[in-house]
Amino acid sequence: MSLRYVADDTPVHRLDPRTKLFVQAAVAVAAFAHTTPRGLVVLTAFAGGVCRLAATPILSSLRTYRAFLPFLVAGPLVEGVTLGAPWFVPADAVTPALASYRVILLLLVSTAYIRTTRVRESRVAIQWLLPGRAGVVLGAGVGFVLRFLPVLRDDLSTIRSAMDARLGSERSLRERIRLIGVTGLRRVFVRADRFALALQARCFAWNPTLPALSPTWWDGPAVAVGVALLVWAVA
């Protein structure tokens, strides 16, 4: 599953992007305020509900971040290891394990946002939240990343498939990493040059005509949920 917008008519698709950004921020605040297992159980149920309402497959979303998941798993393991007996202290690994799990929940909520929000709508929401030139720059940058990142992921997947087809799996791990890294960077620079040329050909402007945002009655309950999460975090 790629990190890109997927057209649908789910309840989350119908929300104003500003509402979705507010709820995301509220989830992040609540996640950092409630780091106990009980608090994370509540956030797990909430993240699962969001993914269900947004038609976002959880397992496919996790596979999208499979390159980062080993680091989240390694953190608690490294923290629990000691240089002497008993060699591993489970109590020392609990706190980083909860922190890693919290990051996974935030990634799931963010994935639901990306799959339910058009890039142009995200740009409008950011420019509304941050007026002026800074908002325009940040909005354009976020739009570029959301459009560019799936293309780069597809390029890396193509490189890996081509290498496997040529028995690249028989090479050493170091050689495979070098080939994927060098070829991937080459693709990045080529894509960047083409992207810059495309922007010039389309007369890229800092003040384009963006779609108008109009909240609906769906946003009322969503805002109430975000406020409830903030109150829960503060309380």
Q: What integer pLDDT is reported at residue 37 of this predicted model? A: 85
Q: What integer pLDDT is reported at residue 208 of this predicted model? A: 64
Q: Are residues 10 and 111 in the same domain?
A: yes
Phi, psi of 191 (to 5 degrees): -60, -40
Q: Are residues 49 and 153 in the same domain?
A: no
Collapsing DSSP states into helix, strand and coil, what is residue 17?
helix
Q: Are residues 66 and 133 in the same domain?
A: no
Q: Are residues 85 and 133 in the same domain?
A: no
Q: How far is Cα 65 from Cα 100, in angstroms, rounded to an integer?
A: 13
Q: What integer pLDDT is reported at residue 45 of this predicted model? A: 93
Collapsing DSSP states into helix, strand and coil, what is residue 170?
helix
Collapsing DSSP states into helix, strand and coil, what is residue 88?
strand
Q: How many CB atoms lie within 10 A of CB 226?
A: 21
Q: How far is Cα 221 from Cα 214, in angstroms, rounded to an integer?
A: 16
Q: Are residues 100 and 12 in the same domain?
A: yes
Q: Are residues 221 and 124 in the same domain?
A: no
Q: Which domain holds residue 107?
A: 1-118+214-235
Q: Are residues 44 and 153 in the same domain?
A: no
Length of the chain: 235
Q: What distances in angstroms separate CA 145 from CA 3, 28, 46, 96, 139, one per listed residue?
A: 11, 21, 27, 29, 10
Nearest to 37 by CA among 81, 88, 99: 99
Q: Are residues 131 and 80 in the same domain?
A: no
Q: How far is Cα 126 from Cα 134, in angstroms, rounded to an integer?
A: 10
Q: What distances in angstroms separate CA 23 from CA 26, 29, 59, 192, 217, one per listed residue?
A: 5, 10, 22, 33, 16
Q: How far is Cα 28 from Cα 56, in angstroms, rounded to an integer?
A: 19
Per-position pLDDT tens, the chain of length 235:
557 888 888 999 999 989 998 999 999 999 888 888 888 899 999 999 999 999 899 888 888 887 777 788 877 787 777 777 777 777 777 888 888 889 899 989 988 998 898 888 888 888 777 777 776 666 666 767 767 777 777 777 787 787 777 776 777 777 777 777 788 778 777 877 777 777 667 666 666 666 777 888 888 889 999 999 899 888 7
Tally the domains of the chain: 2
Q: Are residues 4 and 91 in the same domain?
A: yes
Q: Are residues 161 and 55 in the same domain?
A: no
Q: Are residues 1 and 95 in the same domain?
A: yes
Q: What integer pLDDT is reported at residue 185 of this predicted model? A: 79
Q: Are residues 4 and 105 in the same domain?
A: yes
Q: What integer pLDDT is reported at residue 2 of this predicted model? A: 59
**Tokens describing residue 151:** 């293309």
